[in-house]
Amino acid sequence: MKLEGKVAIVTGSSRGIGRAIAIGFAREGAKVVVAARTDVPKEGKPEGTIYDTVKEIESFGGKAIAVKCDVTDEQSVQKMVEVTVETFGAIDILVNNAGVAFPVPILETTLKQWELALKVNLTGAFLCSKAVAPHMIKRGRGSIINISSLAADEKDLGTVYTGVAYAVAKAGLDRLTWGLASELGKYNIAVNGLKPKKPVDTEGMRFWTKEEERKGWVSPDNMVKCAIFLAMQDAKGVTGVVATDEEMILWHGL
């Protein structure tokens, strides 16, 4: 197993890409902290809770715990880290996947939506990375993976599916990835950004789109494969890279 003995935190893992990555890590032997705000089903929201993900992991003998966490709240993030260390003794991997999007035109975007998109997608990654770094430094290695989006690169995509606020936040996340990689490399911590080349068919995206719009969309499988590869890295390997899943697969023969 590629991640045997490793401890991983995956934010936003009640559903979607985060859930798929958490399950994929567990199948490779990692002990997984399933972290998200959704601990109970909510009417009018996409399906999936942190306990659903843990139940799936436990169904094949994997090890996981559910931690309710608001990544925009520093105390909540610190509590998540404390529970992780108390339960599993260390932190080796962090996947910053928690995200929120408001697929509306920018002139219809409220200040509340704008600020929340930046807080969840960007500030949350900053808070989580800052909180886990001391524990990775203590271990002498670590891997941080930031889940980004092509919305950060494509001038029209952000408006179509995610809204401009989300796209701006993801562009900031890419810059955070490079900054973290530069500063944490001396501690043997790898920091990379991963984004899907094609739209991923997840619970959240199904909630916002019609079935005919999702033709040609893909499952999270490629993202999981790449996340496992990146989780195995430290600063002596792949670090400071922001790339799509298809690029990762091509470059590294995954």
For this structure, is 166 an active site residue? yes
User: What range defines the domain where residue 203 resides?
Assistant: 7-101+124-147+188-252
Question: Residue 97: exposed, middle, or buried by beta-carbon count in 10 A (0-12, 13-18, 19+)?
Answer: buried
Name every residue whose Cβ is closer than 8 Å to that of residue 90 and which is 6 or more positions away in sequence: 7, 135, 138, 139
Catalytic residue among 51, 161, 166, 187: 166
pLDDT digits (tens, 9 = 90+) for 87-135: 999 999 999 999 999 988 999 999 999 999 999 999 999 999 999 999 9
Assigned domain for 29 exists: yes
| Number of domains forming the structure of the chain | 1
Sign of the four-CA dihedral 70, 147, 224, 213:
positive
How many CB atoms sit inside 10 A of residue 253's CB? 7
Assigned domain for 28 exists: yes
Assigned domain for 163 exists: no
Assigned domain for 108 exists: no
Assigned domain for 31 exists: yes
Assigned domain for 208 exists: yes
- CATH number, domain of 45, equals 3.40.50.720
Higher pLDDT: 146 or 153? It is 146
Assigned domain for 110 exists: no
Assigned domain for 27 exists: yes
Is the pTM above the cut of 0.75?
A: yes
Encoding tokens for residue 22? Answer: 């958490």
